[in-house]
A = this chain, B = another copy of it.
Amino acid sequence: MPPSAKAKITKADKTRARLIEVATRLFQEHGSGEVTVRRIAAAAKIEAGSIYYHFASRDEIMRAVLESGVGGAHEEVMQAIAKAGPDCSPLERFRAALSAHFKYTLRRHFSSRMKEIRRLPKRLRDHHMKQEREYAAVFAGLLKEAQRKGLLRPGFDLPVVRMLAIGALTWAAEWYDPAGAKSPDDVADELMRVLTGGIAR
Contacts and interface: CB of A to CB of B under 8 A. Distances in A.
A34 to B, nearest CB: 4
A11 interface: no
Contacts of A191: 164
A170 B168 CA distance: 8
A75 interface: no
A190 interface: yes
A89 to B, nearest CB: 10
A187 B190 CA distance: 21
B30 A31 contact: no
Contact of A197 (B160, B166, B200): B200
A137 to B, nearest CB: 15
A200 B34 contact: no
Interface of A is mostly: helix
**Chain A: interface size category:** 35 or more
A169 B168 CA distance: 8
Interface stretch (A1-9, A14-22, A113-121): A113-121
Interface in A103-155: 113-116, 118-119, 150-153, 155
Given A167-B175, A191-B164, A194-B164, A201 B32 contact: no
Given A30-B115, A33-B32, A119-B34, A200 B163 contact: no
Contacts of A197: 153, 198, 200
A79 interface: no
Given A30-B33, A30-B116, A164-B172, 5 more contacts: A31-B114, A150-B201, A156-B199, A163-B172, A166-B171
Shortest 8 CB-CB contacts between residues of A and residues of B? A33-B33, A167-B171, A31-B115, A198-B198, A33-B34, A196-B200, A168-B168, A197-B198
Interface of A: 29-35, 91, 113-116, 118-119, 150-153, 155-157, 160-161, 163-172, 174-175, 182, 187, 190-191, 193-201
